[in-house]
Structure 1
Amino acid sequence: MPATTTSAKRQAAASVRRAKEDVAEAADEVAGRAKASGRRLRDEADEIEQSLARGAEDLAATVSSKLKSVGVDTDKMADVAREQAGDLQDLIIREIQERPLRALGLAAAVGLFVGFLSAR
């Protein structure tokens, strides 16, 4: 009987080793598949991003050409917009320097208002 018990223990130990090896192999296989899926997803996301960028560029070019075809100078509009943005930036900087507490109060009020709207 002791020989049978020893044999059963060996068989059980061998089965446990095989099970551990099988689990390790399966884990490696799953990890490899996950990495491959991650790479595929990243590649697809890059392709989508490039496609969207091309679409946005095409749309901008189409709008610009349509505006130019009706006599709107888009380059001049862009220059004016940049100039106005610079003027607005200078105005804001001057206001903050001259009245910092007022600017802080306005910023707090705007923050509360935006927070109230986003909470709804």
Structure 2
Amino acid sequence: MALFELDEHSGIPIWIQLRNRLMYLIDSGYYATGDRLPTVRALAADLNVNYHTVNKVYTSLEHDGYISSKRGRGAFVEKAGGGDDGIDISGDVVLTESIRQCLELGMTIDDVKNHFEKVLENFD
């Protein structure tokens, strides 16, 4: 399995997929505090995505305290999970983003809860 797999047909924006994957890799300890991430240009080229897409991801991660960027040096991990908690944190991130997207569609919190319960029933 490749380190980064993006699905253009998933309905989730590419930048969100990439952001979630990087957060998971940091939270799970794959990337440790102080590790240098691939450059924006290199990652964009490797994934065949626009430079601005990767830049948006790195800016978002920096805003949330996951990474720090040093001009001319690159992006470095600021906090890494390194344990089972990383899965919980990453799950929270995915669920939070899903709820945000539902609200952007015009759903209320009660609508989201009701739909979430229906979807969960399908997994039982």
TM-score, scaled relative to structure 2: 0.23
Normalized per residue, the structure richer in helix is 1
| Higher CA-based Rg | 1
TM-score, scaled relative to structure 1: 0.24
Higher relative contact order (CA 8 A, sep 6+): 2
